[in-house]
A = this chain, B = another copy of it.
């Protein structure tokens, strides 16, 4: 069996290193072809994997890295200066070919900067994009860019659309992805200069391009790939997360001082479980950085072990399906 190696930044994320390492162990149990390199403070990592079965431990290598890039550092400076940081060391592994991909739940900006500076852009891509698969009412919609850049030019949106198309097809398994541009209305007369120009470019492409979608078309699942600039994508993603968490917190609060709804909830347990299975965003927990010369996946900063497993599974899938090469070919 062909082996496959992923370098994992064990020190990145709110629950590092414990939950990150636990996720690595889960992934090794699930995928017997997977080998992993855990980068970071050896003294801290070793106790986290101590209890794993020996057939897993055999596939886990710890590579010591003395520094950590925190969430509050200026990304490009941090990745440049902290050469011995767990994140940079993981990325160097990809550049050197010692790992086919890397994963980090750390500083998003630094992951993007490292993707460009360490792993390297694909020559045909002006700017890489971070994409995220979102569970919608009837499908998984791949939204990009969710924050690799701030603002974009039309050519960037055009390239995001192409990369999103590849990801949707090859990784999420959609036969002929419907690709759309996020705008302030579906009619042709809508849009700002940016999306108007990107639309013209996309209409001439070979993509299955649907034109504009509006904000509500995302939750209603009216496209497989939705393209926007990183400022918009970032705000949308966080707004959606906040809305769902806020709604949950309010229901918990209202439930807290009442007895009857708690009884009612008991009748709903199977339904709540079914809903969670259907909309478990951790299933595709990884946010790939597309447009770089290797597999680079970001996991949410709040990730615990199951989300790390989901992200590692996405990274593995991207490697197995030769995602980088597919994007390179699509853009040529």
Does chain B have a CB within 8 A of A263?
A: yes
The answer on a CB contact under 8 Å between A239 and B218 is yes
A283 → chain B, closest Cβ, in Å? 16
Q: How far is the CA of A263 from the CA of B244 in the complex (A)?
A: 25
Say how many copies of this protein the assembly contains. Answer: 2
Q: How far is the CA of A298 from the CA of B317 in the complex (A)?
A: 49
Contacts A150-B184, A216-B241 given; indicate if A137 touches B275 (C-beta within 8 A).
no
- Scan residues 216-243 of chain A and give those whose CB is less than 8 A from a CB of chain B: 216-220, 228, 230-232, 234-243
A42 → chain B, closest Cβ, in Å? 32
Size bracket of the A interface: 35 or more
The answer on a CB contact under 8 Å between B270 and A258 is yes
Main secondary structure of the interface of A (DSSP, over half): helix
The answer on a CB contact under 8 Å between B242 and A244 is no
Does chain B have a CB within 8 A of A215?
A: yes
Q: Which of A232, A258, A267 has the most CB of B within 10 A?
A: A267
Q: B214, B246, B271: which contacts A255 (Cβ < 8 A)?
A: B271
The answer on a CB contact under 8 Å between B265 and A136 is no
Q: How far is the CA of A220 from the CA of B241 in the complex (A)?
A: 10
Contacts A189-B74, A216-B245, A220-B246 given; indicate if A235 touches B137 (C-beta within 8 A).
no
The answer on a CB contact under 8 Å between B189 and A215 is no
Closest 8 CB pairs of A and B: A216-B242, A264-B267, A215-B238, A215-B239, A219-B246, A264-B264, A184-B234, A215-B235
Given A147-B184, A215-B235, A217-B242, 16 more pairs with CB closer than 8 A: A150-B191, A150-B192, A151-B192, A185-B234, A216-B238, A216-B242, A216-B245, A219-B239, A220-B246, A236-B239, A243-B243, A254-B271, A260-B270, A260-B271, A261-B271, A264-B265
Q: Interface of A with B (CB < 8 Å)?
A: 72, 74, 136-137, 147, 150-151, 182-185, 187, 189, 191-193, 214-220, 228, 230-232, 234-247, 249-251, 254-255, 258, 260-261, 263-268, 270-271, 274-275, 278-279
